[in-house]
Chains A and B, each alone.
Chain A
Amino acid sequence: MRAGPLSDDRVLDRLERDFVCTWILHDDLVRLGEGSGPWAPIAKDVAEAYAYPVDSLVLSCEGEILAHVAANDDPSIEGYLRLLDAAGK
Chain B
Amino acid sequence: MPTLLLALPLLLQAPEPERLSVVLDPAASVTLEAAWAPCRRSKYGLFARTEVLRTPAPAEARRTYPAAELAPFLPPGPVALGEVWPVPREAILPFLRQLHASARAELEYGEPGTFACLRAVGPRRIELLFRAHAEFWLTPEVLYRPAQFEGRLLLDRERGTPLSLSIVLPDRDTNVDVNVRPKGGAGGAADIGHVPELALVSPAPPGLAPPWEHELTDADARRRLARAFYPLARLEWLPFEEALTRASASERSVLVIVLFGTLDDESC
Contact = CB atoms under 8 A, between A and B. Distances in A.
Interface stretch (B60-68, B73-81, B121-129, B244-252): B244-252
Interface string A16-53: 10111111111011001000010100110011001001
A75 interface: no
B238 interface: yes
Contacts of A20: 238, 243, 246-247, 250, 252-255
Nearest to A17: B252
A59 B248 contact: no
A7 B268 CA distance: 16
Contact of A2 (B111, B244, B255): B111
Nearest to B232: A6
Given A12-B234, A21-B238, A22-B237, A62 B257 contact: no
B115 to A, nearest CB: 16
B234 to A, nearest CB: 7
B256 A22 contact: yes
Given A3-B111, A22-B239, A26-B258, A59 B232 contact: no
A13 to B, nearest CB: 10
A41 B117 CA distance: 41
> Which label, helix, strand, loop or mixed, suits the secondary structure of the B interface?
mixed
Given A20-B246, A42-B244, A25 B261 contact: yes
A interface bracket (residues with beta carbon within 8 Å of B): 35 or more
A54 B241 contact: no
A19 to B, nearest CB: 5
B7 interface: no
Contact of B235 (A21, A28, A59, A61): A21
B236 interface: yes
User: Which of B173, B231, B254 gathers the greatest number of chain A CB atoms within 10 Å?
Assistant: B254
B174 interface: yes
Contact of A23 (B237, B244, B248, B250): B237
User: Which of B174, B235, B245, B264 gathers the greatest number of chain A CB atoms within 10 Å?
Assistant: B235
Nearest to B244: A39
Interface string B212-248: 0000000000000000001110111111111111111
28 contacts: A6-B230, A15-B235, A15-B255, A18-B253, A19-B253, A19-B255, A20-B253, A20-B254, A21-B235, A21-B257, A22-B239, A22-B240, A23-B237, A23-B258, A23-B259, A25-B174, A28-B240, A39-B244, A53-B260, A54-B257, A57-B257, A58-B253, A59-B244, A59-B247, A60-B254, A62-B248, A63-B244, A87-B253
Q: Which 8 A-B pairs have the closest CB atoms?
A: A22-B243, A87-B253, A59-B254, A23-B257, A6-B232, A23-B263, A20-B247, A54-B259
Interface of A: 1-3, 6-9, 12, 15-16, 18-26, 28-29, 32, 37, 39, 42-43, 46-47, 50, 53-63, 66, 84, 87
Interface of B: 111, 173-174, 230-232, 234-248, 250-264, 268
Given A24-B257, A56-B256, A59-B255, 12 more contacts: A2-B232, A2-B264, A6-B230, A12-B231, A15-B235, A20-B252, A24-B240, A32-B240, A39-B245, A47-B258, A56-B255, A61-B251
